[in-house]
Structure formats: structure tokens, C-alpha cells
Amino acid sequence: MQFFDFHHHDFTKPDGIFNLIKTDIPPKGFFSVGIHPWYINHNWEVEFEKIKDLSQQENCVVIGECGLDGLIKIPEELQRKIFLKHTEWAQTIGKPLTIHCVRRFPEIIHLTKKISVPKVIHGFNKNKDTAQSLLENGFHLSFGKAALHNVSLQNILREVPEDRIFLETDDEDFNIEELYQKTAEIRQTSPEKIQELIAYNFEKIRNGN
């Protein structure tokens, strides 16, 4: 059984979306590409032009990860400028966004108000109020390793609408199957049903829904 991994960093993994860092060589399978706020540098404009070229490949299915991080030294004005470049480009080519967000959820919600492409907060591990605010504003939530043990996060995962859920490993060293099994347990269903659900959600966002 293949378990779709919405956001991962394992070049050899056959099923899921490989997160391309900057302009590395893309895999044969699905990938995402963008400028992570951690990796912003003086050369970002040149890098972004390369990202625009890469993102037009058929197997590039998501723009990002990109976003805002309130814990890094990169000036927030520059972070916002680059994030908006990603949102505009995603809207132009009609591909979903994978978003990295640390302590800047109201800003992310505000900056994406006018775009219609699907928006996914990857590695979601915040509280119920934050989850509710994101869901009310049309975001999908992708859950990672923290959901295996964090009870409050499990309570959120239990209540998230089924059409807004994704599961991922990110850069954590664990088997995605564990997360599918835990999610099935939390939502009182089977791993096979969660597998079908995630596959359906992925096809929906690929089609712009």
C-alpha cells in the first residue's frame, strides 16, 4: 500500500511531493519548489526566476514551501515581498501553495485573501483557535510527526473537515504509515480510508479546488 506524503525531503521516495530546496535538480516524481524564508539571500530574485521556470514542469504540483517566519533574522518586509511573489506566481500558473508559517498566521491569512488557488499550511502543530481561523479562511492543514504524540493536536486532527487534511513527514525520520494509522485511529476509520481521502484531496487541489 502506498501512503501519499504531502511534503517530504527524501529524493528516493516514490509516493508524495518532494520539496525541492531552491534550484536543486528535480526528481522524476511530484515536487514542489519555492524559496523557504530560511534561505532568503541577496540573490533571491535570480533564484526566483529559476523557480518560475522549474514550476512550469508538469510534475511540479505545488509552489513552495514559502512563507513567513517570526523567529529568523531575515527582515519581515523582505519576507513578505518574497512570499507575495510566490502567491502571485501560484495564482498566475494555477498551482497550490505550500506555506511555512511561524508566529505569523494573521499576516499569512491577510496576504492570501485575494488568491483563489488552494493553500496548505504544512507541518501544522498549533492550537485549536489557529486551526479554526485557518479553516475559516480556506486553508488546508498538513499534519506531521507531532500528531503521533501531541494529544491537543490529535483533537484538532479529529475535527478537521475531511476535505482539508494532508499528512507529511517533512524532514523527520519516521515512516509515514505510522501517521496514517494514527490518523485512522483518531478519526475512527481505517488506514485505507485515510489513504483514499488523502489521494482524493490531492487530486482536488491539483485541479484548483
Residue 65: cis peptide before it, omega within 30 degrees of 0? yes
DSSP 96: -
DSSP 4: -
DSSP output for 101-115 = EES-HHHHHHHTTT-
The pTM is what? 0.96
**pLDDT score for 150:** 97
Give me the tens of pLDDT residue by residue for the chain, a chain 209 residues long.
Answer: 689 999 999 988 889 999 998 657 888 999 999 999 999 999 999 999 999 999 999 999 999 999 999 999 999 999 999 999 999 999 999 999 999 999 999 999 999 999 999 999 999 999 999 999 999 999 999 999 999 999 999 999 999 999 999 999 999 999 999 999 999 999 999 999 999 999 999 999 999 88
Report which secondary-structure segment, H or E, holds 199.
helix 191-206
**pLDDT score for 209:** 83
Class of domain 5-206: alpha beta
